Structure formats: structure tokens, C-alpha cells
Structure 1
Amino acid sequence: MRQVIMAMVAVLVFIFPVSMKADETPSQHTWKELNHISDQILQLVKQENYDEAKQMLDYFSVSFLDIDFQEEGVTMTSLRTVTGSFESAVDAVTAIDMAVDQRVYKVTAFRLAVDALSSEHHPLWLQTEKSVMNALASMKEAYSDGENQAYQHRFNEFLRHYEMIRPALFINLEPQQLQKIDSQVTFLERMRSESVDQDKVISHIELMESEWGNLYQRVKEDAADPSLWWVMFTIGGMITMSLSYVGYRKYKAEKQKVRVKE
């Protein structure tokens, strides 16, 4: 019985990726290529190979403009967002005196924006959850301990993370969701320059922790690949049917034994 179940699972796992690959359209291939190019650009910038990164950006621009955005359903907002992050990436690799970490932040923002536009499931910016949540937690800890300098430093670090993923959020989130997050960040920045009760600041940071945690969880649930659920239900259904059949055969055999004894 175990061999039968394993054989069925193996057949499904073998067939399913093949069928997905066969169904891949030219546009899907183009998006995957653009996603791969943006990742190559980021790796080149991390290696401080700016000349080659600029060449790859030029190649990306040509390939990107070959897409029929209207047919692909790309909104003008998403298009402007990717274009803006692309221009920032060009500035990052052509600037004369920009710090390396600042270049990486700008090109990472471009990388995440391209991925947000091209990935149907589980966008790459979801991987920033740990760093963002840790930044908020460290801000709250520093402020609670009265370490103002440490708080300012950690707040700046959070803002850098936020600016890095904001283009991707602009593409993936509903306008009201992004507006809510923007307003919370703006309000915290305003309190930064004012004399505000400590409990009020702590309470607002905790509100942001809750909002960001819910945001990541909600997008994870929305981004779940339906095809994976199909595989799970299919395999689960076949295993259940097989077990039921074996149970029925066993029941009949036991019943037959009883008859023979009688």
C-alpha cells in the first residue's frame, strides 16, 4: 500500500511542473527575464561593479519597453513607480560620491519593485518582514530606555528600510492601505521633533508594529499560489481514496473469514 501511495505522489509531482512549464506564455518568460536582470544588477552593485550594472540597466530598459503594458494589465501607477525606481537605480550606479550602502538601498528598491510587478505570488519584499519588525522593536526599546541618540539612529534605519520597500508596496497594496502606513510614519516623524509624552510615542510604535505585522500576514495569505492548494487537495484526495479502498478490502476480507469460521 505504501508503495502505491508513493507512486501516485511521484507521478503528480512529476507531471505538475511539466504542465506548468508547457503552459508558460511568452509574456511570463519576459517577466521572469526582467526579474532575473534586476537581480543581476543588484548583485553587481553589491560587488561595486557599477559600469557593468549600468550596461545591464540599459539592457533592462530596452527589454522593459518591449512589453505591451496595456495587454499585460499594468496600471499607469505601477508603471510610474517602476520607472521612478529605475531612474533612482541609474543615479545610484552613475553617482560619483554616493556611499555604497546608499547605492545598494536604491537598487534594492528597484529590484523589489520589478519583482512586485512581475511576481504573481509571494513578492520578494515579504522577506523584509524580520528586518522591519526588528527595527520597530529596537526603536521602542531605545525610546523606553531613554536612549535618545540610539532611538534617532534606529529610527533613521527604519526609514531607510521603509523607503527601500515603498515602491513595491505602492504596486502591491491598495491605495488606502499604503496611505494608512504613510500617515503613521509621518506622524511618528512629527513627534520626533516635538516634545511628546513618552507613553504616546511608545503607544504609536506599538500600533505600527501591529499594523505592519497584519500587513505582512495579509499579503502572505493573499499571495498564496492556488496551484499549490490544487496539488495538496489532489494528493490528499487520492491518498484518502486509496486508504478508504484498502480499508474496505480489509473489512471484506475480515467479514469473509468470519463467514468461513461460521
Structure 2
Amino acid sequence: MKRTFRNIAGWLVVTLMALLLWENGSYRVSAQNDKSIQNVNKEVSSNYTIAQLNEEAAVLYRRALENNMEEVRASITRISNSLGHISFEGRTSVEGIHALSETLVEVKEAAAKFKGDKHFLQQASAKLRLAADSLANPAKPLWLQYYKIVKNDLDALSLAADQNQSAAIVVNRFTVLEEHYETIRPAAIIRLEPYQIAQMDAWLSYLKGLTHAKQSDASQLRSMTSNGEELINQLFGREKDESAFVPFVQGPDRRAAGLVISSVIVAALSYAGYRKYRALQQDIFTYRR
């Protein structure tokens, strides 16, 4: 009986040791496999290129139009995981990288709110698509094809101002123009100088104030829409008579000249706002008397 008990006990010990050794070996193999997978993923991420980013952004945009949220989120994850491994040296400025990152964040937010606003997701995806393409194709980026669209938006707004159409129509015309500009803005930041974007932003901001004012100034609105045509041409690199006239400043000094121009625009807008404020104050004092 004792011998049988010893045999059973010995068999149990041997079995337990064998199980422990097997589990330990399995754990090591699993850990090695996980490490290999991580190394492969890391290698893939480190080799991620701007061309691949552009392709992934195009896929994301198509899936957004198809309302395929599973693929949209998968594309967002792949882009997010790989963005930090891309070399942007010589491709764009710090402002361009920042604009690209902000657009990706906007796409993430839109995907989270997808059920509430499909248009928001599609617009954000379009912005990311154009921004990635602007990096991948600096010579002929897709966002330049928006020239006719933005020009038509401005013409429609200008026509509404000239014909003294209702405030609702004027606001609607401006909203369409603003939306199209915001769609291409990150892509434009990637390619253009900061002062060029600053000029456009300042003009659009003042135009928004005019179109949304309780008492619209028709003459100011017509004047600003007229000035906008030149700014849009410059934004898209379509200055009038470009071949006949040489820019008055060449080389690095063009940025300084742009800052001067921006300062003049801001000063003019501030002065116009100050005059409107003084006129409003005089009306209030006259009414009180």
C-alpha cells in the first residue's frame, strides 16, 4: 500500500513538473512572437512615407463618403500611429505640420460625432485628403483645383451685394465661401508662406463681420468683395498679368513685404471699425439728447 502511494505521489510530481516546464516554454515562445510582431510594426511605422500617408488619406475620404465607419476608424488609427514616424524635413514648415496634425484631430472628432453630423466628417476627411496630397504632390496639388469654386463663391457674394439682396442670402453666400476656404486652408498652409494665409484670414474675418452685421454697410461690402478677387488670385498663384509684371520684391524680402502688406490691411480694417464705432456712439448721444 505504501509502495502504491509512493508511486502515485511520484507520478503526480513528475506530471506537475512537466506541466510547469511546458507552460514556461509556451510563455517564452509567445513572448518572442509578441516581440517579433512589435518589431515588425515598428519597422513598418519607421518606413512610413508621405506617399503612403496620401494613399491612406484618400482611402479614409472614400470610406467617409461611403459612411463605412469601421474602415474610417481603421484608417484614422493607421495614420495616427504612423504620423510621428514620417520625416517632413524639406517638405513643409512648422505651420504646415501643425495644420496637418490639427486636421487629423478634427477628423477624429468628426468620427466620434458621426451619428450627429455626417457632413462634418466628410468635410474634415476632405481637408485631410487635400493636406496629405499637398505634401505628396507639391508641384500640382489637388487643392489648386478649388480656384474656380472659390472664385464662383466670391462672384455670387459680390452679385448679392451689388443687387442689395436680403441679409439671409448674403450670409448664405458668405457661408459657402468660408466653408470652401476652410476645406483647402490646411493644404494651403503646407505650401504657402504664413503671411499669405494671414492676409486671406484677415480679409475673410472682416468680410464675415460685414455680412453678419445687423445693419449692413453695402458700400463696404462691395469694396471688400472687390478686394477679395485679388487675394484669391494670389492665394492660388494666379496673379493678374503675372508674366508682364515682375514682383516689386524678390527673394527672402518677399516675406517682409508680405508682412507690411498684412499690416496695412489690418490697419485699414481697424480704422474702418473705429469710424463705425464713432458713428455709432454719436448716434447714441444724439438719441439721448
TM-score normalised by length of structure 2: 0.61
Indicate the SS of the match to 1:53: helix
> Which residue of structure 1 lines up, in the alignment, with residue 130 of structure 2?
112
Identity level (%)? 25
* CA RMSD in angstroms, aligned pairs only: 2.3
Residues 1:133 and 1:28: Cα distance change in structure 2 (over 3 Å): farther
1:129 aligns with 2:172: no
Structure 1, unmatched stretches of 5+, are 1-26, 222-262
Asked if 2 retains the 8 angstrom alpha-carbon contact of 1:92 and 1:98, the reply is no
> Which residue of structure 2 lines up, in the alignment, with residue 90 of structure 1?
108
The Cα offsets for residues 25-83 of structure 1, whole Å up to 9 and x where unpaired, read as xx99822221111011001001111221110111122232222345x555332221111
> Which residue of structure 2 lines up, in the alignment, with residue 11 of structure 1?
none
Name the aligned partner's letter for residue 177 of structure 2. Answer: F
CA–CA separation in structure 1 for the residues paired with 2:233 and 2:94: 29
> Which residue of structure 2 lines up, in the alignment, with residue 65 of structure 1?
84
CA–CA separation in structure 2 for the residues paired with 1:214 and 1:84: 25
Indicate the SS of the match to 2:215: coil
Question: Where in structure 2 are the equivalents of 1:1-262 lying within 5 Å?
Answer: 30-70=49-89, 74-148=92-166, 149-192=168-211, 193=213, 195-218=215-238
Residue 124 of structure 1 deviates from its aligned partner by 1.3
> Which residue of structure 2 lines up, in the alignment, with residue 252 of structure 1?
none
Which structure ranks higher in relative contact order (CA pairs < 8 Å, sequence separation ≥ 6)? Answer: 1
Residue 96 of structure 1 deviates from its aligned partner by 4.3
| Matched length | 193
TM-score normalised by length of structure 1: 0.67
CA–CA separation in structure 1 for the residues paired with 2:112 and 2:48: 29
Residue 143 of structure 1 deviates from its aligned partner by 2.1
Residues 1:28 and 1:215: Cα distance change in structure 2 (over 3 Å): farther
Residue 151 of structure 1 deviates from its aligned partner by 1.3
Indicate the SS of the match to 2:138: coil
Residues 1:51 and 1:166: Cα distance change in structure 2 (over 3 Å): same
Indicate the SS of the match to 1:108: helix
The Cα offsets for residues 3-34 of structure 1, whole Å up to 9 and x where unpaired, read as xxxxxxxxxxxxxxxxxxxxxxxx99822221
CA–CA separation in structure 2 for the residues paired with 1:75 and 1:213: 22
Asked if 1 retains the 8 angstrom alpha-carbon contact of 2:164 and 2:218, the reply is no
Pick which of 130-139 and 111-120 moved more: 111-120
Asked if 1 retains the 8 angstrom alpha-carbon contact of 2:135 and 2:190, the reply is yes
Asked if 2 retains the 8 angstrom alpha-carbon contact of 1:170 and 1:178, the reply is yes
CA–CA separation in structure 2 for the residues paired with 1:147 and 1:112: 34
Residues 1:214 and 1:78: Cα distance change in structure 2 (over 3 Å): closer
Structure with bigger gyration radius: 2
CA–CA separation in structure 2 for the residues paired with 1:84 and 1:131: 24
Asked if 1 retains the 8 angstrom alpha-carbon contact of 2:54 and 2:136, the reply is yes
Residue 158 of structure 1 deviates from its aligned partner by 1.0
The Cα offsets for residues 234-261 of structure 1, whole Å up to 9 and x where unpaired, read as xxxxxxxxxxxxxxxxxxxxxxxxxxxx
Structure 2, unmatched stretches of 5+, are 1-45, 243-289
Asked if 2 retains the 8 angstrom alpha-carbon contact of 1:132 and 1:161, the reply is yes
Residues 1:106 and 1:176: Cα distance change in structure 2 (over 3 Å): same
Pick which of 196-205 and 77-86 moved more: 196-205
The Cα offsets for residues 167-223 of structure 1, whole Å up to 9 and x where unpaired, read as 11221111111111111111111222153431221121011022202332349x9xx
Indicate the SS of the match to 1:109: helix
